Structure 1
Amino acid sequence: MEHAYRLGIDAGGTFTDFVVASRKSGDVKLFKALSTPSDPTKAIRDGLKLIADDFGITPAELVADCDLCINGTTVGLNALITHRGGRTGLICTAGHEDSIEIRNGHKEDGYRYDPEYPAATMLVPRYLRKGVRERVISDGSIRVPMNEEDVRDACRLFLREGVETVAISFVWSVLNTEHERRAAEIVREMMPDAILTVGSELYPQIREYTRTSTAVTNAYLAPVMRRYVGAVDSYFRELGAKQPVRYFQSNGGLAIGQAMTDRSVYAINSGPASAPQAGLYVGKPFGRDNVITVDMGGTSFDITLTRNGQTNLNKNIDFLRYRIGVPMIQVETLGAGGGSIGWIDSLGLLQVGPQSAGSEPGPACYGNGGSEPTTTDANLVLGYLNPEGLLGGKLPLDKAKARQAVAKLAEPLGISVEQAAYGMFTIVNSNMVNGIRRVSVERGYDPRDFVLVGAGGATAAHITALAREMGIDTIILPKLASGLCAFGQVISDVKYNYMATAPLRLDTPGASERIDRLFEEIEERGVAHLKADGFPGTRIDIGRSLDMRYVGQVHECTVDIGTFRITDETIGRVKDAFHARHEELYTYCERHSAVEVVNIESTIYGRIDKPAPPRLTGQGSAELALKGRREAIFDTSGSATSTPVYDGSKLGVGATIAGPAIIEEVTTTIVVEPDWTAALHESGSYLLTRKG
């Protein structure tokens, strides 16, 4: 039987988004349920009930008729933010117990010279880091055999202390895995119920601190992800799902639940990592592949940049103060959402965020007990949001409570409530613009060369102001913007990264043969993994990259290469690719200098069928969609302008609206500032352009 639907679920800090795509017609429906951080699976149950009621079927019938059910989750991210991971033990080379605390002697950028900047919270306390007498040296040979009793002593301590997850990371284990493998056997023997992370398996790359930190972070998150995946998988099995639930990874691809529990570190940026794929998808009908996707939800603001159809991947970075080595979609995240709280600092200046009211209690206007002024309250005061409520009236708003909350800022500042609200709007926009600059200007990209794609429920109220500040004159805003990350999931492929280390100069005899053999070995494992998952060979693609540098350099850069066989005749193509990448990154290259490889990586894709692209068919003028006028504020004076308000559901293809205007979709509200024009395209996106 051919399944009718594909389901994407994206759990955010305030709302959990559900996208149901028809595999044949391309019709997409979006649903929202309040997130339930204390029990994330409850939000899934609530959302599936909403969908089932709308379709006139049961949740079991819905799930049974889905070819794939995909889940992007913030569970791992939240556990790392709140330090609520598992009780973790570390087994490492004796003398290296403090490497995760020494951190290569490095402070994060921006705090390098700040003596008062506090140390990062350690995921493994000092007494649960146990050194083992052993030593592998840089040529892979064993200098000191492993003392197995040290490993057993560590296990005895871990058992006494209630450790539930263990990380193993030895020096130079990537060149000789014998000691780590034997240590893992002992841990499995003595602690059969513990979750085990082996550094040379998870991140088989050079850099001992990065490998250890990555292994520790993975171990720390593994119990949380195991419980979450177990609960979600069990729930969907009970509903009769025909396929295992797929989970979205921070590398931009899908994985089965077992992979997410074994490689929990890939769950850290699970939600926003699908934004670039969605941004490219909605940009394609307009011929745009230089895309900055911005996602403003209730709690945070996420930014990704895609240039020439390629999204940057980060490796070996500090994320939430913890070094992560595995590839992650480059996402700039800041505390600027609809729930961001306005406050006055010690200098008497107005600030917004990063503190957030979240979904519990939420903004004051939600009427759930919140009393602090938030961005959503300010937008309601400014007239941008419908006072009758959001989500088609299902989430009523209380404008009086919003004004009371914003008045807490207005009174001490000696300004009107309207001016305070516009001040909050301006400041949160400034915070978001600074984030956009970090992913564009600070990395050598001119934001004016990009189109701005809006995602997230709160973005549309701010996006013309953001584009104006950045000098961007084109915006693409899908009707399903508030669930764009969930939509990105349903059009994504399965993706796994396989790595190996290969420290050698390209001019060394036999270098090409060794590199090619390593690629074949890791790709054989990856292809076998996907075939076991049901993918035929015709549905499997491979991408290759190498971390390379000039001999004598400290840091390497990642270079994508084709899948050609690497021989003495083709090794020159690898060198040329490195020189070109180095020049692109640093404006120069040294073709006369020797080049060395540090690590290699293969990305294995399992290609899935994509739902048909959505298409709008109805025609309708803006006049037919006009539902009234509302007083709205567009400048610092606090003076209101009578602004036309349009019902987005009644707009047809080609309908054009000149600002100032407000367009109300069911799950988002679009504020079209003066000098901007919005036109609805047949692909289901609004194209917003600014007068030259």
Structure 2
Amino acid sequence: MSKTEARSGELYIGVDTGGTFTDIVVMDGEGRVYADKAPTTPHSLDEGVFAALKIVADVRGESIEGMLSKVAVFGHGTTQATNALIERRGTKTGLLTTRGFGDTIILQRLMGFTAGLPIERLGDFSARAYPDPIVPRTLIAEIPERVDQAGAVLLELDETTARAEIQRLVDEGVGAFAISLLWSFRNDAHEKRLRELIREIAGDTVYVSISSEINPVLGEYERTATTVLNAYLGPTVERYLELLERKLREAGLSGRFSVLNSVGGVMGAKEAAAKAVLLLGSGPTGGVLGSFHLAKELGHDNIITSDMGGTSFDVGLVVGGQPVVKAVTEVAQYHVATPMVDITAIGAGGGSIAQVVHGKLLVGPESAGAYPGPVCYGRGGEQVTVTDADVVLGVIDPDNFLGGRMKIDKAAAERAIQTLIAEPLGISVVEAAAGIRHIVDNRMAGTLRELTVGRGHDPRDFVLYAYGGAGPMHCAGFGAELGVSAILVPATSMAHSAYGALAADIHHTVERSQVFRSFPGNPEPWKEFDIDEIWKIFAELEHEALEQLERDDVPRDVAIITRAVDMRYRSQTHELIVPVTTALADPSELKTLVDDFERAYEDTYGKGAGFRDAGVEIATFRVAGIGRTQKPTFSEITPPVPAERPGRRVFDVRAMQWCEAPVHDWNSMQPGAVIPGPTIVEHPTTTVYVASQQEVQMDHIGNLVITALDL
């Protein structure tokens, strides 16, 4: 049995802490799945984790301690870093930078001015604003020193000034330091010396983040922002992960504990604390990775991932069997320059607020959140949400929400829609609810079009994976609008990001910027690149990646190494990440790299957009080290005993009429049986709605597949 195969009797757990619910997936060595969710506890996230563990342990008829004692792998995705950034609950941070460049993080090269604004609002000058500074100007210290682009020291580090500034920041109550000096990724001696001085003055308990280790790439602002965010979030993430792992160990966990990152895998808790910035977007990344691993089992090369939760709608792509990754990600109006799975999010979730503004019905992006939540939750919410509309339209059964663990007040939802939506628009309550559902479905379909058609992809070549608490309820609508070949609702859809944390492989990335360029007008630009120097850079990065994998107990002989470069045409400011598909053992293989870049460029920006005569540049080198983890494959389900459920009236938004819809129990469905819509499939933790002119069937491992009827 290989090290990555699941073993009989062992358990594999994934837990994802979201904004509204904490999701859990437990798989045994035979591939049987237990999935559920518990309310997230924002004041103490570990409590929500243990509440989710208890729910599954009770279903399995054992204690939490008994269940954890069998666990080989525990993967965790968390919003701890994201929440700390959004709510500004990070550690008071000081920044040390090169003299004369203290305003870099404040100015943001004007990029923060419009970061995060949707395209349609870019012209709204009142909406433009810089983010609240992570590090105020008073906590930025400029240190005399200078290194040039080749790594040569032009001005030695002024240690006298450095000591004085460090002491000043310590006296100001700084608990974390970020160090980002010019060209430090070419010569890191000054950054490392500043870290030594901080340790001498402030002690070992102060968190220190240096750019040459966190983000050794071109781009002064992005590198500084990434390092500052890492320092700001690091102590908070470190405390949480230490607390959670300690409690899990005390409760009986002896297997591996790992944390889901946004790069495309998991890493150890200590590494996650040291590189906390990589946890931004951890939860949504889990859904993409869960879909990626499931797609490999099902043979789907091209998929669109769609996660509709309580607050947002998160979308990603897997093209040609690989998740799409981007080099720079906007987070809270800052730019993080580490490779992350490319996820686009809009404010369209079950908690998205519907309101009438100047006679028009708008849905989102504001959300009612977990508390007070939708009106129908009965927690004091007073604003109409998408979930309230779903209840009024009959999609959600008020008496069977979360398997009956949570009662829903349908009458309260109807009253709120009547007062706040229907009366101002002069329409009925049902028409208002249908309008809310129609608008949110079209907003989501529009986002999916931007990521497919807008990037040169035909949606008909893709399978849409729909998950999240609200995704299965709405995928029939936005999937039909998009025109995909099929919609797949995974067996783990109610906790799919948690499945991603369970299934993800160990993944480390290392990168380094060094520019190679060809002269304009050269039809053979690859001949100007120094292949020996390129080979040397990759060899050094691969050595570093292998060392990181060894710290996670991945032997070198089973490690997987992938390589990529960031490329652009000369004078451009943005690059594309291009996989290196050859060994680069011969200079002629550089031609393949240039051809791959130009193909990717035209796929992204349109046929004919490439312009080789401008010259070609390689800007950054990237290496990913991957270690396969133990994980079970899904077992084929055995036909269960059918269970009858009474049907109910549902308002079909596509036909704009009430209809009698059969209701099916997910856990009692027969594999292969085809059921025409409109119909509803209920699971204790989610509801799947199938519209008219569609049909649904269960596949051999328990996923639901929705397709359009041939008319």
Query: Common fold, TM-score beyond 0.5?
Result: yes
Aligned to 2:666: 648
Instruction: Return the match for 1:355 from 366, 370, 395.
Output: 366
2:567–2:576 contact (8 Å) kept in structure 1: yes
- Which amino acid in 2 is paired with 1:178? A
CA 1:641–1:488: 2 relative to 1, 3 Å: same
Deviation at 1:227, TM superposition (A): 1.6
Report Cα offsets for 1:465-501 as digits up to 9, x if no partner: 1112112241111232111111122221000001112
CA 1:344–1:593: 2 relative to 1, 3 Å: closer
Instruction: Return the match for 1:14 from 20, 25, 35.
Output: 20
- Indicate the SS of the match to 2:400: coil
2:468–2:496 contact (8 Å) kept in structure 1: yes
- Indicate the SS of the match to 1:370: coil
- Which amino acid in 2 is paired with 1:437? R
1:274-285 → structure 2 map (5 Å cutoff): 274-284=286-296
Hey, what's the Cα distance between the residues in 2 that align with 1:396 and 1:219? 43
Aligned to 2:400: 389
Does 453-462 or 589-598 show the bigger shift? 589-598
- Which amino acid in 2 is paired with 1:17? D
1:429–1:465 contact (8 Å) kept in structure 2: yes
Aligned to 1:184: 195
Report Cα offsets for 1:199-257 as digits up to 9, x if no partner: 11101111111100111111111122112111111111212322342000001100111
- Which amino acid in 1 is paired with 2:310? G
Does 674-683 or 578-587 show the bigger shift? 578-587
Deviation at 1:185, TM superposition (A): 1.0
Count of residue pairs the alignment pairs up:
687
Hey, what's the Cα distance between the residues in 2 that align with 1:592 and 1:401? 65
1:505–1:511 contact (8 Å) kept in structure 2: no
Report Cα offsets for 1:574-621 as digits up to 9, x if no partner: 33433433343343445566533211010000111220223112166x
CA 1:42–1:574: 2 relative to 1, 3 Å: same
Does 284-293 or 249-258 show the bigger shift? 284-293
Hey, what's the Cα distance between the residues in 1 that align with 2:589 and 2:445? 44
1:163-562 → structure 2 map (5 Å cutoff): 163-192=174-203, 193-284=205-296, 286-345=298-357, 347-408=358-419, 409-505=421-517, 511-562=530-581
Deviation at 1:416, TM superposition (A): 1.5
1:130 aligns to 2:151 (yes or no): no
1:510-659 → structure 2 map (5 Å cutoff): 511-562=530-581, 564-568=583-587, 570-586=589-605, 587-588=607-608, 589-590=610-611, 594-618=615-639, 624-635=642-653, 639-659=657-677
- Which amino acid in 2 is paired with 1:466? F
Deviation at 1:195, TM superposition (A): 0.6
Aligned to 1:84: 89
Residue ranges of structure 1 left out of the alignment (5+ in a row): none
1:140 aligns to 2:145 (yes or no): no
1:72–1:489 contact (8 Å) kept in structure 2: yes
Hey, what's the Cα distance between the residues in 2 that align with 1:308 and 1:21? 28
- Indicate the SS of the match to 2:282: coil
Hey, what's the Cα distance between the residues in 2 that align with 1:625 and 1:239? 37
Hey, what's the Cα distance between the residues in 1 that align with 2:485 and 2:510? 40
- Indicate the SS of the match to 1:627: coil
2:307–2:467 contact (8 Å) kept in structure 1: yes
- Which amino acid in 1 is paired with 2:707? T
1:250–1:328 contact (8 Å) kept in structure 2: yes
Deviation at 1:115, TM superposition (A): 3.5
1:545–1:559 contact (8 Å) kept in structure 2: yes
Instruction: Return the match for 2:69 from 64, 67, 89.
Output: 64
Hey, what's the Cα distance between the residues in 2 that align with 1:421 and 1:259? 47
Q: Which has the higher contact order (CA 8 A, sep 6+)?
A: 2
Report Cα offsets for 1:417-467 as digits up to 9, x if no partner: 111111111122122122212322222222222111111121111111111
CA 1:426–1:229: 2 relative to 1, 3 Å: same
Deviation at 1:527, TM superposition (A): 1.0
Report Cα offsets for 1:617-651 as digits up to 9, x if no partner: 2166xxx5441221111138964222222222221
Report Cα offsets for 1:116-166 as digits up to 9, x if no partner: 312221111111111111111222212221111222222122212211111
Aligned to 1:75: 80
Hey, what's the Cα distance between the residues in 1 that align with 2:187 and 2:689? 59
- Which amino acid in 1 is paired with 2:201? M
1:115 aligns to 2:120 (yes or no): no
Report Cα offsets for 1:55-97 as digits up to 9, x if no partner: 2222122112111111001111112222222111111111111
1:7–1:490 contact (8 Å) kept in structure 2: yes
- Which amino acid in 1 is paired with 2:214? L
1:658-673 → structure 2 map (5 Å cutoff): 658-673=676-691
Instruction: Return the match for 1:5 from 11, 18, 21.
Output: 11
Hey, what's the Cα distance between the residues in 1 that align with 2:615 and 2:432? 60
Aligned to 1:690: 708
Hey, what's the Cα distance between the residues in 1 that align with 2:528 and 2:440? 57
- Which amino acid in 2 is paired with 1:240? G
- Which amino acid in 1 is paired with 2:11? Y
Hey, what's the Cα distance between the residues in 2 that align with 1:45 and 1:636? 41
Hey, what's the Cα distance between the residues in 2 that align with 1:204 and 1:412? 55
1:15–1:35 contact (8 Å) kept in structure 2: yes
2:310–2:350 contact (8 Å) kept in structure 1: yes
Does 12-21 or 439-448 show the bigger shift? 439-448
Deviation at 1:52, TM superposition (A): 2.0
- Indicate the SS of the match to 2:395: coil
Deviation at 1:514, TM superposition (A): 1.6
- Which amino acid in 2 is paired with 1:146? L
Hey, what's the Cα distance between the residues in 1 that align with 2:565 and 2:214? 18
1:104–1:209 contact (8 Å) kept in structure 2: yes
Hey, what's the Cα distance between the residues in 1 that align with 2:33 and 2:291? 16
Identity of aligned residues (%): 34
Deviation at 1:382, TM superposition (A): 0.2
1:42 aligns to 2:60 (yes or no): no
Q: CA RMSD in A?
A: 2.1
Deviation at 1:178, TM superposition (A): 1.5
Deviation at 1:371, TM superposition (A): 2.8
2:36–2:494 contact (8 Å) kept in structure 1: no
1:363–1:374 contact (8 Å) kept in structure 2: yes
Aligned to 1:160: 171
Deviation at 1:573, TM superposition (A): 3.6
